Chain A
Amino acid sequence: AQSVTQLDSQVPVFEEAPVELRCNYSSSVSVYLFWYVQYPNQGLQLLLKYLSGSTLVESINGFEAEFNKSQTSFHLRKPSVHISDTAEYFCAVILRGPGGSYIPTFGRGTSLIVHP
Chain B
Amino acid sequence: DTGVSQDPRHKITKRGQNVTFRCDPISEHNRLYWYRQTLGQGPEFLTYFQNEAQLEKSRLLSDRFSAERPKGSFSTLEIQRTEQGDSAMYLCASSKKTGTSGREQETQYFGPGTRLLVL
Residues of A within 8 A of B (CB): 4, 6, 32, 34, 36, 42-46, 49, 51-52, 90, 92, 94, 100-109
- B68 contacts the other chain (CB 8 A): no
Contact status of A102 and B42, CB under 8 A, knowing A46-B109, A52-B103: no
Write the nearest CB–CB distance from B103 to chain A, whole angstroms: 4
How far is it, in angstroms, between the C-alpha of A101 and the C-alpha of B103 when the chains are bound? 15
Question: Who on chain B is nearest to A43 by CB?
Answer: B112
Known: A44-B91, A102-B55, A108-B40. A49 touches B107 (CB 8 A): yes
B45 interface hit (Cβ, 8 Å) = yes
**A104 with B45: CB separation less than 8 A:** yes
Contacts of A52 in B (CB 8 A): 101, 103
Distance between Cα atoms of A60 and B68 in the complex (Å): 36
Partner of B43, one of A44, A49, A94: A44
Residues of B in contact with A, size category: 20 to 34
Which 8 pairs across A and B sit closest by C-beta, in order of nearness? A106-B42, A51-B103, A44-B110, A43-B112, A32-B106, A106-B43, A104-B45, A90-B42
Binding site for A on B (CB under 8 A): 33, 35, 40-45, 48, 55-56, 59, 91, 93, 101, 103-104, 106-113
Chain A nearest CB from B97 CB (Å) reads 14
Question: Which of A46, A51, A104, A106 has the most chain B CB within a 10 Å cutoff?
Answer: A104
Q: Quick check: A94 and B106 within 8 Å, CB to CB? A: yes
8 extra interface residue pairs, beta carbon distance < 8 Å, beyond A46-B107, A51-B103, A105-B45: A4-B42, A6-B42, A44-B43, A44-B91, A44-B93, A100-B55, A101-B56, A109-B40
Known A-B contacts A43-B110, A90-B42; the reply to A103 vs B56 at CB < 8 A is yes
Between A and B, 7 residue pairs with Cβ closer than 8 Å are A44-B93, A46-B109, A51-B103, A90-B42, A92-B42, A103-B45, A108-B41
Bound-state Cα–Cα, A12 to B103, Å: 35
